[in-house]
Amino acid sequence: MHIVFLDADTIGKDVTFNSIESLGNLKIYSATLAHETAERIKTADIVITNKVPIGKAEMDSAPSLKLICVAATGTNNINLEYAEEKGIAVKNAAGYSTESVVQTTFANILSLLNSTAYFDQYVKSGAYSTSMIFTHYGQTFWELAGKRFGIIGMGNIGKRVAEVATAFGAEVVYYSTSGKNVNIFLPYPLLGLDELLRTCDIVSIHAPLNEQTKNLITLKKLKLMKQEAIIANMGRGGIINEKDLAKAIDENLLGGAAIDVFEQEPIPANHPFLSVKNKAKFQFTPHLAWGSIEARKRLIALTAKNIEDFLSQ
């Protein structure tokens, strides 16, 4: 089997692909531009992609193609209808990143609640060494215990975030973007979106980007939130209107925002997030919440299993 991995650098250089190499002749590309895809997969039996799109033209260029493995959960970069028409199987990986996303969610939220960056810099600057007292209250920080913690998107990740928030002593409520988690038993109150935004101290988004969630949170919605509230987006870029969020932060309408995902990735140099005045109110990570070393190893193992299962059929 001729296996082509189109964008291996998205998985990182600290992960090996031995389990996939054992299943065929593996050709690895660090990254692939759109105009390079067709040429690189023209003799492939199996293609692995994380973010590289594979559409009609790419599939037509690869007459031997039998399987597309998406090294991710989402398959929106694949023309699924045309793959089915061509008899090309498409396999994704699910569940590998839950703990990584949950940990990053709380790392970012707690960093904002605790003003971690400020206090770290206070000590490193030498200012603490000149203090007349043993402590310093240059910034206020808050406890998570007792706060109302709202979750938008109560899938597997959202449910795990809810468990951890509860362990911290927070009161968890949620809003279902799909409506699928409305009539099932969950030990948390289901709220409408406006009520959740108005009453929560922390709002954490763990939803996919679709017709129901695109531009879900606009300036109008952000104005419903408490002035000290924190909003986190660990789902998909485009759920929060980014220009509106930058405006809300600079107008001190919110206590802070933790963002891991962006509408355009990487973000352009003129992105409104990069020009806000209240930079300390933002906590950014470059779409890495999913990518702990353990999660990426699980992802490769699941991808190898998908190939192995396909070959055994």
Query: Rg for the chain (alpha carbons), in Å?
Result: 22
Catalytic residue among 40, 206, 287, 296: 287
C-alpha to C-alpha distances, 50 to 8, 36, 268, 284, 292, nearest whole angstrom? 8, 15, 21, 22, 16
**Catalytic residue check, 206:** no
Best CA proximity match to 275, nearest among 230, 253, 242, 229:
242
Cβ atoms 117, 138 nearer than 8 A: no
Which one of the listed residues 39, 265, 294, 308 is annotated catalytic?
265
Strand-pairing partners, residue 172, are 149
If DSSP codes are grouped into helix, strand and coil, which group holds residue 250?
helix
The strand pairing partners of 150, in sequence order, are 173, 203
DSSP category for residue 180 = T
Residues paired with 152 in a beta bridge:
175, 205
Could you tell me which of 45, 101, 44, 39 has the C-alpha nearest to residue 72?
101
β strands within the chain, DSSP E: 2-5, 25-28, 46-49, 67-70, 89-91, 148-152, 171-175, 202-205, 230-233, 256-259, 282-284
Range 288-291 contact pairs with CB under 8 angstroms and sequence separation of 24 or more: 288/104, 288/260, 289/97, 289/100, 289/101, 289/104, 289/105, 289/234, 289/260, 289/261, 290/97, 290/100, 290/101, 291/12, 291/97, 291/100
Active site residue 81: no
Q: Which of 236, 242, 296, 298 is catalytic?
A: 236
Active site residue 287: yes
Catalytic sites, residue numbers: 236, 265, 287
